[in-house]
Amino acid sequence: MNNIKTKFLPTTKKEMDALGWDQCDVILISGDAYIDSPFIGVAVVGRILEQLGFKVGIIGQPDIKSDDITRLGEPKLYWGVSGGSIDSMVSNYTATKKFRNSDDYTPGGKNDKRPDRATLVYTNLIRRFYKNTVPVVLGGIEASLRRVTHYDYWTNKLRKPVLFDAKADYLIYGMGEMAIREFSLALRDGTDPRKVRGVCYISKEPVEEYIQLPSHQECLDDKEKYIDLFDHFYQNNDPINANGLCQKVDTRYAIQNPPCDYLDEKEMDEIAMYPYQRDLHPYHKPEGKVKCLETIKFSIQTHHGCWGECNFCAIGVHQGRTIRTRSEANIIQEAKDFTKMKDFKGIISDVGGPTANMYGYECGKKLKKGTCDDIRCVDFDRLCKVMKVDHSRSIKLLRDIREVPGVKKAFVASGLRYDFIPADKKHGYTYLKELVEHHISGQMKVAPEHTSDRVLKLMGKPGKQPLIEFKKMYDRLNKEAGKKQFLTYYLIAAHPGCEERDMHELKQFTTHELKMNPEQAQVFTPTPGTYSAVMYYTELDPETRKPIFVEKDTLRKEKQKNIVIDKKYYQRRKSSGASMQS
């Protein structure tokens, strides 16, 4: 095996020749251009395999109208196929199904390189040019969230597990760092990769000891069966306590092995320090810059996972609901490494993760026994008493980063849970003070999403009171610091359960309590791997199985959004004779 550490992994035959390679062991295909960064999943997988001594090539955004996918030849062991950092359908279409013209992961920014359902398209391309090739392995968020029967918003129907549509051999789900290692070694050594945790495959026979999910046909016939399936899918994602899953699809079975183990701190530190170039591969540069590098090039990922469990978000399913944290020393070293790079201007764009203020603590019970099936860490009106929110490590980390010579500013731009700050009686106030005084660029973004209690419960979001407490604390700290920094809010319209009256309530809250007029709100998009998508399809509350209102008309969805961003809202309400309290 070759263990030369390359600057970039090869994406052309010329680069392979320069390395003395006749053939790659693994070729990775991605819906993104090849960006070598710890924030890009395909780049991370490539570096993991490189460290094991595999010869790895990457083809980013292959031209689907030519034989471009053959430019590195055929791999020795397998093809790895990903739709990219963002689900291709989410990347290509708005919530109202209008085509997006821009793509932050495409050189030049024009959205003309990522095909719809990229995972399927790339797999078909491989099969077209290499009839009897080595295994095709799916990975990335697009495949991960479609590994069982799932609701597809863009066709408005339930689709089969993606392995049945893509004609691939295996699927590695979740973050999959341990799975990709064990899977690759199994193929190299001639052992059975179907024994590897974190792997899905198709079988002619069921695995009897696994949980037997409702079949695909049962889900088509009965919406409550689909909820049953999703409950099992959601609850069996923790490496400590998850079972395998088995689902009948026509005459065959989709098999999902239990998830692979999470990385420990040492392993996370190691992967973070691989020789990423933090840049776009020169092959793509003639086509223009990729916008995503503006934020990720000099950003630091402090942890993986999120236990917030917002029902519209798939992070908990894809990354897991247990926080895995890098060491402070490793993070500080990364900041120091930035200062040695010639184009670093002293600004770290972000220090955080899926939820910035989950760094450095976890529930002791969860670490020993896995996630709970019957209770969430955080719900509408309470934080589990076993989960002790603690911002102390975050405070120390941010202070240490500020002390690194050459670092002028380190922003915390990742989303954070504002409700955790007043909940942390010991360190919450100090943490927010640190952010206000040192780590915000004029404004802080928070995500209440809504203010109607009924809608918030369906979203899995906290009630209004923590937001009110947080805003008071934030305003007070800015006044004390002599700063005029603002809060901006992520808001969602047309989530299942949300009616126009709820948007009127939200508008009044933003005006009277938040003292602002929202300039933007997003229409809800039902994405695979989320309870909110289950609600959208079934029109049922998954917990009670009772019917809920779901807005499915595009124009009325837009109307819901426009209610909350209308700058002349009260003038229009007055002229229409509507009650200001209705």
Closest listed residue to residue 333, CA positions, set 354, 294, 297, 302: 302
Asked if the structure places residue 213 within a domain, the reply is no
pLDDT digit string, tens, across residues 445-463: 999 999 999 999 999 999 9
CATH code at position 464: 3.30.750.200
The pLDDT, as a whole number, for residue 574 is 62
The string of DSSP codes covering 252-296 is EEEEEPPPPPPP-HHHHHHHHTS----EE-TTTGGG---TTHHHH
What Å distances lie between residue 72 and 10, 25, 82, 327, 476, CA to CA?
Answer: 9, 11, 17, 38, 59
Mean pLDDT value across residues 304-316: 95
State percent of the chain over pLDDT 90.
Answer: 92
Three-class DSSP category at 380? coil
Mean pLDDT over each residue of the chain, to the nearest integer: 95
pLDDT top residue among 582 and 335: 335
Residue 381 has pLDDT above 90, yes or no: no
Note whether 46 and 167 are same-domain residues.
Answer: yes
Q: Please give the structure tokens belonging to residue 53.
A: 């001594």
6 — pLDDT class (breaks 50, 70, 90): low
Asked if the structure places residue 242 within a domain, the reply is no
Residue 331 has pLDDT above 70, yes or no: yes
Note whether 486 and 425 are same-domain residues.
Answer: no
* Position 546, amino acid: K
The pLDDT, as a whole number, for residue 479 is 96
Asked if the structure places residue 82 within a domain, the reply is yes
CA 281 to centroid of chain Cα atoms: 23
| Four-residue CA torsion sign, 155, 159, 162, 163 | negative
The pLDDT, as a whole number, for residue 375 is 87
Note whether 485 and 357 are same-domain residues.
Answer: no
Angle at 437 between CA 433 and CA 441, to 5 degrees: 120
Residue 185 has pLDDT above 80, yes or no: yes
Say if residues 61 and 31 touch (Cβ distance below 8 Å).
yes
Three-class DSSP category at 521? coil
Q: Which of 143, 177, 201 is the last residue before a domain boundary?
A: 201
CATH code at position 307: 3.30.750.210
Q: Which of 441, 464, 484 is the last residue before a domain boundary?
A: 441
Note whether 68 and 121 are same-domain residues.
Answer: yes
Say if residues 132 and 125 touch (Cβ distance below 8 Å).
no
**Distance between CA 164 and CA 539 in Å, rounded?**
27
pLDDT digit string, tens, across residues 54-65: 999 999 999 999
In the block, tokens 């699927």 appear at 171
576 — pLDDT class (breaks 50, 70, 90): low
The pLDDT, as a whole number, for residue 409 is 97
Asked if the structure places residue 275 within a domain, the reply is no
State which residues form the domain around 460.
Answer: 442-582
Note whether 368 and 404 are same-domain residues.
Answer: yes
The pLDDT, as a whole number, for residue 374 is 81
Note whether 464 and 400 are same-domain residues.
Answer: no
Is residue 310 marked as binding?
Answer: yes
Note whether 448 and 398 are same-domain residues.
Answer: no
The pLDDT, as a whole number, for residue 461 is 95
The pLDDT, as a whole number, for residue 1 is 34
Q: Please give the structure tokens belonging to residue 192.
A: 């059975």
The pLDDT, as a whole number, for residue 577 is 61
Note whether 68 and 156 are same-domain residues.
Answer: yes
Is residue 306 marked as binding?
Answer: yes
Residue 188 has pLDDT above 80, yes or no: yes
In the block, tokens 């923790």 appear at 238
**Distance between CA 143 and CA 174 in Å, rounded?**
9
527 phi/psi in degrees, rounded to 5: -105, 145
Torsion of CA 318, 522, 410, 306, to 10 degrees: -30
Asked if the structure places residue 272 within a domain, the reply is no
Mean pLDDT value across residues 370-379: 89
Mean pLDDT value across residues 494-518: 95
> Which residues, other chains included, contact 78 with Cβ-Cβ below 8 Å and sequence gap of 6+?
26, 134, 135, 136, 137, 169, 184, 187
Q: In the beta sheet, which residues pair with residue 171? A: 138, 200
What Å distances lie between residue 67 and 122, 126, 134, CA to CA?
Answer: 11, 10, 18
Note whether 395 and 468 are same-domain residues.
Answer: no
Please tell me the total count of domains within the chain.
3
Residue 582 has pLDDT above 60, yes or no: no
Note whether 451 and 414 are same-domain residues.
Answer: no
Asked if the structure places residue 284 within a domain, the reply is no
2 — pLDDT class (breaks 50, 70, 90): very low
The pLDDT, as a whole number, for residue 581 is 43
The pLDDT, as a whole number, for residue 575 is 66
pTM: 0.94
The pLDDT, as a whole number, for residue 570 is 61
The pLDDT, as a whole number, for residue 580 is 42
Say if residues 23 and 283 touch (Cβ distance below 8 Å).
no
The pLDDT, as a whole number, for residue 4 is 42
Torsion of CA 483, 520, 354, 277, to 10 degrees: -90
What Å distances lie between residue 566 and 174, 274, 517, 551, 557, CA to CA?
Answer: 40, 48, 8, 20, 14
- State the DSSP code for 63: -
Note whether 24 and 142 are same-domain residues.
Answer: yes
Closest listed residue to residue 487, CA positions, set 463, 467, 458, 508: 467
Asked if the structure places residue 519 within a domain, the reply is yes
Note whether 60 and 161 are same-domain residues.
Answer: yes
pLDDT digit string, tens, across residues 410-428: 999 988 999 999 999 999 9
Q: Which of 387, 406, 441 is the last residue before a domain boundary?
A: 441
- State the DSSP code for 321: S
Q: Radius of gyration (Cα) for the chain, nearest Å?
A: 24
Residue 523 has pLDDT above 90, yes or no: yes
Asked if the structure places residue 255 within a domain, the reply is no
